[in-house]
Structure 1
């Protein structure tokens, strides 16, 4: 059964404001207790839980019956561009954010619309992306960040706006793509805009009133801890003011110890010789106090970032056994192509390096200090002002923003990756003009290269978190991989991400392909799972666009790959057939 909105209905719905099929009569409020221990039948946040596992405890769908998975409903979002938000589910209600400042509320079991909210962009608005990576839930409200720098609280029953607060200034080049994070009555979010000379930050707002509670900057001001890693005088003495480090993906949260972990993006401009020094906290993970926003500790994956290797995703929180005891660890497949394991003090006051290894080709790191994790560089692979250098992986990294997944039953981490791609550019000095491109290189001068004789680019790696050894890998000879991964208690993984529009299920232990379904478009949103009345469902939003589309066109021109996947967003929900 498919439920697709008609074009006439969509046209009416997409007017500014909220369109209704009827408000909810009741709604189960989202509390601190529920967020800390999400019920298996719900998917209350972008990665399923605060630890960032992208894991569902549901196991009704398993390796033996997954071949019977069928679509039970689909719902057209009515917009194009890249759909990167997961379906969020609370008590049988699904919330989906889409590009162009839109949120849908849908009955999760049947696909019937409850309400649709859409807010028009202000006159003259422009942004690098108009995608959205999801909503947050708290109390009786739904929270969404707008590309035009607004954080909006909606009544979960009706979709009506409750309050709206300003996070950033789109005239300055900032814009929001991140899902907010709801922690202890605070709604926390940061903007994108590193390529426009934004000084990165996250802000916290009161969930009830929208009042700003604190702002935490990723780039320290003079005199603050870490400021000594930025130029103190000379031509680049004010580099910290426009130094990048945007915090444009949702963080993870240690519930037991009340510590936020957030990722910090690339430096601005890209060329590091225009901001000499290590440049804290660019390309780092930071531990923060959620009450005040204070940065308590950090780990920097690479210093003086010159490759646009943003560390925007926070590490996954995993307890690993050592000497018979469970120890808190942070594990992350970074954009620079290395897989990192870090120890952290329970209160977040210290993050220590454990180990790192490359999971894709990296020609920049000559070595990594086994005690500190600090890399040494191959200067011939380090771009500079008027110095063109080729480096691998390219700006999209071993893994871009899509989420890895961790299965606590097997201890396996699943990483969507891309390999055999490199990039070259020569930096230039640009005048920083608010709202204009400021990467230190013109987009048309960026050269993306593919390794000669490549057999694949995209794929999935299954990695034993306790040893970091690879268990298995899947590779895609004809596609990059732009898809997040979800894993289940029945040891399945679900993933899209490829240009053939397929949504797939694999055996999580062996990597065997068990099921696939071709959707209307390519999938770059994270899969989720939920249950209603004891029946398990799998949800994913299909809708190709943004970087995936740009790279696909490049591969089509150079290697004869199929031209871009069709665009147009659709929510797909699957369940086992009645037989």
Structure 2
């Protein structure tokens, strides 16, 4: 295993400035066909493909040569706060979204800045998470959702604004957007955050050419809609559905063959479930949706009457796994509640439970129904109004928003996880006032607790999706893991996520650490991979902040860790040295 230092970095011959004259050339429009069958040399969407694998078929960089990986170019974003967007690549055009409504375009080969787009933040605006998780491509446009609830279409070559449409109203709804959009069949689909402010979750679809709104799908059904009877129908909580949460704040995945979208639904609002008695569909669920009209075709709810902020915002990865000796079309997802789920998906979008096992400690679920997957609860660990409860894992779960990865060669799922942490909360009734916290708990009393003498918290797990067993596990004694995973056909995984600022490569089959590189800040953005002129590159954006930084401060008091990690965004691109 080889660790590169900054001294080594300075010794590396970076791309000469003279090469900047070699421009990126024509822009190749992104079509439905290209999104359905993305070329290995590009990274056209946040998770690499519609199935949500975070996998690249490129295999030039392998377990045998990854130790030679070197930085090719780097560029500062000019922003601090948490950078959570991947580098999206279409040929020589790379796009990186940053906090504070900024999109940067680079020449992916040389690192030369092509353009910069910034939308001015409105006066008085505030949000719980000041970040952005990426752009989407279609045609000759780049699509980005600004944190102040607007969707913009930018010219891919110039960065000029083509159109913009309102997704939500941040002033009256307290909603805001951190999600990357998903483009399906010429429609740009995105949903806001804001469950902690009483936002009723939804996604909207817009025409990619004109910005015209096409349809809206709510995650909490209203009167007369299927599932509304799982919310209180009378009494003091009868209107709970109106502010029930379930925000859909991460991009979904898409089954191209059967024309079905899969989207994750967030936590309940307020957090104490006794303020909205019932199962509360479709909170903490995965929905299957018809992309033509937004109608819900099926669902699976991971846990009912959510009382822990265990949002299910990540859509499961679309995979085939073995069942009773046969290959079946399925969904697999490591959920925030600490359980790993195998689900069956039918052609019409119906979703049924198959199997689930805990991948971190959970003290809330006493058991799961083997046929339905419905959990039975330890009521002592369920937060209620005026009731204090301690539950594990904490609200950040076994895995927060960051992406798992699936490798079809190894048949393994790779999970960035956190264990050995719990939370103590007391529920209370809070009024819903636009722009004010109303999650039913005192935000200043979120009591995060690591287990006494914890051996580790963060790490990476590898699971065989067929025999449904853990294959290997890497753990971090002194850090949480807030990093998404990239896996490759070269039998590697790449991941950041730790407070030591390292970007690492592991053997995907064994878990052996093969290479690491220190970036100026911590990495909480997903890595990506692309190829130019027959050369494979690995890209990642460094820039710590948001929840990872907040937790770092908590751990400084509990375990003596450094109080904070340096902030400041920068893009890093790596490749193997040219053969001489």
Whether these two folds match at TM > 0.5 is yes
User: Residues 127 and 170 of structure 1 are in contact (CA less than 8 Å); yes or no, is this contact kept in structure 2?
Assistant: no
Aligned residue number for residue 516 of structure 2? 516
Between 169-178 and 297-306, the greater mean CA deviation after superposition: 169-178
Give the alignment of 1:240-259 within 5 angstroms.
240-259=241-260
What secondary structure does 1:187 align onto?
strand
Aligned residue number for residue 470 of structure 1? 470
What secondary structure does 1:266 align onto?
coil
Cα distance in 2 for residues equivalent to 1:72 and 1:323: 48
Gaps of 5+ in 1: 6-20
Q: TM-score, length-normalised on structure 1?
A: 0.96
User: Residues 24 and 107 of structure 2 are in contact (CA less than 8 Å); yes or no, is this contact kept in structure 1?
Assistant: no
Aligned residue number for residue 8 of structure 2? none
Q: Deviations over 1:121-179 (max 9, x none)?
A: 11221111220000000000000010000000000010000000000111121000000
Aligned residue number for residue 263 of structure 2? 262
Give the alignment of 1:146-225 within 5 angstroms.
146-171=146-171, 172-225=173-226
Aligned pair in 2 of structure 1 residues 26, 133: CA closer, same or farther (>3 Å)? same
Aligned residue number for residue 446 of structure 2? 446
Q: Return the offset for 1:435.
A: 1.8
What secondary structure does 2:423 align onto?
strand
Aligned residue number for residue 7 of structure 2? none
Q: Deviations over 1:487-528 (max 9, x none)?
A: 000110000000000000000000000000000000000000
Cα distance in 2 for residues equivalent to 1:564 and 1:126: 22
Aligned pair in 2 of structure 1 residues 200, 155: CA closer, same or farther (>3 Å)? same
Q: TM-score, length-normalised on structure 2?
A: 0.96
Cα distance in 2 for residues equivalent to 1:353 and 1:404: 20
Cα distance in 2 for residues equivalent to 1:501 and 1:296: 43
Aligned residue number for residue 370 of structure 2? 370
What secondary structure does 2:549 align onto?
helix
Aligned residue number for residue 31 of structure 2? 31
Q: Considering only aligned residues, what root-mean-square deviation do their CA atoms show, in Å?
A: 1.5
Q: Deviations over 1:314-363 (max 9, x none)?
A: 01000123355431110000000000000011120x11100111000000
What secondary structure does 2:43 align onto?
coil
Q: Return the offset for 1:578.
A: 2.3
Cα distance in 2 for residues equivalent to 1:4 and 1:258: 46
Give the alignment of 1:91-106 within 5 angstroms.
91-106=91-106
User: Residues 270 and 440 of structure 1 are in contact (CA less than 8 Å); yes or no, is this contact kept in structure 2?
Assistant: yes
Aligned residue number for residue 499 of structure 2? 499
Aligned pair in 2 of structure 1 residues 382, 323: CA closer, same or farther (>3 Å)? closer
Aligned pair in 2 of structure 1 residues 491, 241: CA closer, same or farther (>3 Å)? same
- Say whether residues 1:232 and 2:233 are aligned partners: yes
Aligned residue number for residue 420 of structure 1? 420
Cα distance in 2 for residues equivalent to 1:323 and 1:477: 39
Aligned residue number for residue 381 of structure 2? 381
Aligned residue number for residue 290 of structure 1? 291
Gaps of 5+ in 2: 1-12
What secondary structure does 1:444 align onto?
helix
Aligned residue number for residue 11 of structure 1? none
Q: Deviations over 1:216-246 (max 9, x none)?
A: 0000001100000000011000000000000
Cα distance in 2 for residues equivalent to 1:108 and 1:444: 43
Q: Return the offset for 1:468.
A: 1.7
Q: Return the offset for 1:442.
A: 1.2
Cα distance in 1 for residues equivalent to 2:53 and 2:431: 42
Cα distance in 1 for residues equivalent to 2:64 and 2:113: 33
User: Residues 415 and 461 of structure 2 are in contact (CA less than 8 Å); yes or no, is this contact kept in structure 1?
Assistant: yes
Q: Return the offset for 1:196.
A: 0.2
User: Residues 329 and 344 of structure 2 are in contact (CA less than 8 Å); yes or no, is this contact kept in structure 1?
Assistant: yes
Cα distance in 2 for residues equivalent to 1:160 and 1:209: 15
User: Residues 24 and 92 of structure 2 are in contact (CA less than 8 Å); yes or no, is this contact kept in structure 1?
Assistant: no
Aligned residue number for residue 274 of structure 2? 273
Q: Deviations over 1:177-206 (max 9, x none)?
A: 000000000000000000000000000000
User: Residues 23 and 107 of structure 2 are in contact (CA less than 8 Å); yes or no, is this contact kept in structure 1?
Assistant: no
Cα distance in 1 for residues equivalent to 2:325 and 2:109: 44
Runs of 4+ in structure 1 off by over 2 angstroms are 1-5, 21-25, 321-326
